[in-house]
A and B are shown apart, each in its own frame.
Chain A
Amino acid sequence: MKNTLAERLATFLAAYQPFSEIPFEELVSVAATLQIRTLEKNQILFKVDDPLHPFFYIVASGAINLSVVADAEETLLNRCETGEILGLRPFFAKNNYMMTAKAREESIVYGIPIDTFRPLLLTNSQVLDFLLQSFASTAPRNSLSTMGKSGLVNDTVRGPEGSTELQYFQSLSYDKKPLFVKASDTVQVVAQQMTDNLKQSAVILHNNMLLGVVTEHDLSSKIATGRLPLTAACQLIASKNYVFVPENTSLAEAQLSIIRHNAPLLLVSADGTETTAITGVIHLSDLISAQANNPGLLIKEIKKALSVSELKDLREKMTDFIQLAIEKKVPLSHVCAITGEVNMALIKRCIDLAVLDYGSPPCRFAFLSTGSQGRKEQLLKTDQDHFLVYEDVAIDRVTAVREYFLRLSKRTTQFLSDIGYSECPNKHMANNLNWCKSFSDWIQQYSDWTSKPGLKNQENPGIFFDFELAAGEAKIEESLWEHVMSVVPKNKKFLAYLANEAIKRPPALGFFSKFNLEEDGEYKDLFDIKNRAILTYVEIARVIALSREIKGSTNTYSRFKQLAMLEPKHADVYQVASEAFLMLLKIRTNEGYKSGSDAAYIATDELSKSDRERLKSAILPLKELEEIVKSKFQLTFFS
């Protein structure tokens, strides 16, 4: 009998690896044996030590978290989304499951019986390869690239300590093709070879015996100083200041060896002694770059990245860094600043890549970030907000210039959304004709906003007063700020309008200081932390900062800090507000990582009791702030 359901399921499978390698007819017969399961949020598919199911699974919708539990702490290993496969253990091992698979949201999974699928492996070797790879790669993401190449298939879990004490597991990538020179070579020859091969050192061998190592330091201290001539044999300047280490040295061990022996470099050999052949050299710089969580290096890599997918990987690394930093209790203001820089570098690189596609710009321009990115408060991958300003050009070039920048912005926006920044729902993006204009048009725009606030059909322009240069001409940004500061602080009407918008936001707490949850819609029973709390702080900080002519810092946290200095009368409130704002940001960021979303809505009943209290106390200062705003801008007349 025909089975159209199986055909439909087979069509779904065929879109994903490894099923795409299998002929469709065979896939239909596989599909006819599927078991379909629905999972509620947090429902467990299988858990550690469960006997193996006779199935492996593919996620049809929703997402499944794979985790291990140790010391009552759950460590997330991987997240499987639509089309990804999990639970491959029964294929390759007989012992019980090593991890827990739990639905992160309402999900549907298809169970594929191992017995019907196994025969296909024999006929389709690519399928087997793919399964082996996925089985091996269900490991913590950040250790994936560095972890033992030898043990690819041995296990799916490497123990939870791998994630916290990563350094002890992280093996180094180092120079695996050291430069070998003969003892009789002159210093000049050696130096030339080092330069040609971009090496920092050269290993001197004589009949396969190690005689020493020439480093850049040796060249500068012994040759450049004139102590020895260029024609001297390199052996004379070689140092013996090195230590042998075995091939699979971890980052931590390498660091220890260098410190203990005070050696500038490590030589790698198979067994870590002088008797076996040298297979590599580890320099101090390798150690530094191995600490890939370093945001400075990330920025460097972003600047060099050649493709969007590379940028995407780098943003993922940044995510790891932010998470780690928050765990390690690095002050959030610091984390924000660093993340802001990385985000800016990302945007700049996206523009660079777009410029590579479309040729160099016809005139000077500035690509300005606004919104959370412009305020450097974007810890999660939330939506993108930006606009573009270009120089005024002669009238005959206007159309061409506008065309160019629109295309450039479209491309950049596309790149950014490929990296994972979703597009702004209000279309506050430079690819929108309204927000990609010449300098004089922008001046006009700002004047319009400020002279006629609250026009019908006009949205709150507040977001455009938090801009920060991402790429292009800094002069344009400066002039724009100058203009804003010349029209805004004096304009009582406009400030009152902004202030009114800020305190008109939906209140966060209701009677008996209970959270005001969403009453219906998609986010029913969730707390809208973005609109009810965070943005209220943001807007209040913005309007007061504008009225006090604070420019240069758009960050909500530092706006409050600066205000505290300017207005001793309210200093306490502003101080508290800046801390409370950071707390809100932290709660949202933590929730965002937990759920893998932008956490604009959070489930207050899932917070721990202390977090709930913290959230509440972070909202309380709003009341006093609102009072200040009301008296400052005389809002009683306005509304």
Chain B
Amino acid sequence: MLDWIKIANKNYPDFWKVYLSRIEQKPERAVALRLQTTGNDPHKDVILAISAVGMQQNHINAGDVFEVVLLQYVFNHDNGLSNEFIIESKVEKMLEPQAIEQFINYLGNAVIVGHQVNFDIEIINTVLEKLNCGRLRNEALDVDIMYKKYKDISSDKTFAIEEIEKQLKLPESDKESTTDKAFALALIYQKLKHKLKL
């Protein structure tokens, strides 16, 4: 109850309050998350697209998909980037605040699965900060780390998704969209999860 008061006092946006109440529960769902960003600086770069595929205990739900393209007018304009892919994409388009709000609602308390997931979380946190929210509190798993654990590799080397996919004997598919990549990530996670007996 006290927590609630604290949250209420802090002037968070409503969606964040809902998120905070949901995060208390134990997660039953995992979400394979894949971002497309303009670069790899969590503070200077921005998110261009978010795709996520939901998973239950031992399967991927094709219906549990989140995908959105962010309209980053200012950023594109300042950096003189083309917005061709935004025009071509069939995916729904939103502005950053709206997109993040929807994503947080979709994410809930699910475990986040990503490749180099810390960066993804960091860049989302940057956006959340702008919206007067706190930081993400979800449990997060990195397939790169899982893969190294499975193979017993201790080096700092990062394995690309394609490499991991090949080693796990997953079929190679042409991954064009961010959603395809999220799906590939979900398959990798399912495999590794089984292999590591999680």
Chain A residues engaging chain B, CB cutoff 8 angstroms: 1-6, 8-9, 31-38, 40, 43, 60-61, 105-106, 108, 110-111
CB pair B62–A32 under 8 Å, yes or no, is yes
Residue of B nearest to A8 (CB): B180
CB pair A3–B65 under 8 Å, yes or no, is yes
Residue of B nearest to A60 (CB): B171
Identify B59's interface contact among A4, A60, A105, A111, CB under 8 A.
A111
CB pair B59–A1 under 8 Å, yes or no, is no
Residue of B nearest to A36 (CB): B60
Docked complex Cα distance between A111 and B58 (Å):
12
B61: which A residues are within 8 A, CB to CB? 34-36
CB pair B194–A4 under 8 Å, yes or no, is no
Sort A-B residue pairs by CB-CB distance and give the 5 closest, nearest first: A34-B62, A36-B60, A61-B171, A35-B59, A32-B63
Chain A proximity of B102: nearest CB distance (Å): 9
Chain B proximity of A498: nearest CB distance (Å): 38
Q: Does B109 contact A (CB under 8 A)?
A: no
Q: Which of B159-173 contact A (CB under 8 A)?
A: 168-171
Residue of A nearest to B106 (CB): A1
| A-B pairs under 8 A by CB, number | 79
Docked complex Cα distance between A6 and B65 (Å):
9
CB pair A40–B194 under 8 Å, yes or no, is yes
**Given known contacts A38-B194, A40-B195, is B62 in contact with A4 (CB within 8 Å)?**
no
Docked complex Cα distance between A33 and B179 (Å):
17
Docked complex Cα distance between A5 and B171 (Å):
16
CB pair A4–B187 under 8 Å, yes or no, is no
Identify B65's interface contact among A5, A108, A110, CB under 8 A.
A5
CB pair A36–B194 under 8 Å, yes or no, is no
CB pair A36–B59 under 8 Å, yes or no, is yes
CB pair A33–B63 under 8 Å, yes or no, is yes
Docked complex Cα distance between A38 and B182 (Å):
15
Chain A proximity of B162: nearest CB distance (Å): 16
CB pair A5–B187 under 8 Å, yes or no, is no
Q: Does B91 contact A (CB under 8 A)?
A: yes
Identify A3's interface contact among B60, B63, B171, B191, CB under 8 A.
B63
Q: Which of B17-31 contact A (CB under 8 A)?
A: none
Residue of B nearest to A110 (CB): B62
Chain B proximity of A632: nearest CB distance (Å): 45
CB-CB contacts of B55-71 with A at 8 A, as 1s and 0s?
01011111101110000
Q: Does B157 contact A (CB under 8 A)?
A: no
What are 30 A-B pairs with beta-carbon distances under 8 A? A1-B67, A2-B67, A2-B90, A2-B92, A3-B63, A3-B65, A3-B67, A4-B65, A4-B180, A5-B53, A5-B182, A5-B183, A8-B179, A32-B62, A35-B56, A35-B59, A36-B62, A36-B186, A37-B60, A37-B190, A38-B170, A38-B191, A40-B191, A61-B170, A105-B169, A106-B168, A106-B169, A106-B191, A108-B171, A110-B62
